Amino acid sequence: QSVLTQPPSASGTPGQRITISCSGSSSNIGSNFVYWYQQLPGTAPKLLMYKNNQRPSGVPDRFSGSKSGTSASLAISGLRSEDEADYYCAAWDDSLRGPVFGGGTILTVL
């Protein structure tokens, strides 16, 4: 069982907007930044969002992040087929003294 909770799957049609949630606690999301990683099939995870809502260079502005209390969300607008991937949230956990991940969300573009 992962420390951070994500829905196992999400889906949408091209052009649609979808959101992926990530739920934690006061020791992780509630007191630290949230990060999102995108893992395309057969590849290593790649940083998608840092410090809750900051996009690294090269990440389209179709991707956005938000955080409120002990939960965070990743939104993808204008969904495209190349967005099909696994998405993971992560945050530092003060109690465990280490980073923790969500279980991952498999995004399918129908």
Q: Which residues bind another protein (CB under 8 A)?
A: 2, 32-33, 35, 37, 43-47, 50-51, 56, 88, 90-92, 96-104
Which are the contacts of 97, defined by CB distance < 8 A and separation ≥ 6?
none
3-state secondary structure of 18: strand
CB of 68 to another protein, least distance (A): 18
Q: CA 104, CA 110: separation in Å to the nearest integer?
A: 19
3-state secondary structure of 103: coil
CB of 30 to another protein, least distance (A): 14
Cβ nearer to another protein, comparing 35 with 109: 35
CB of 41 to another protein, least distance (A): 12
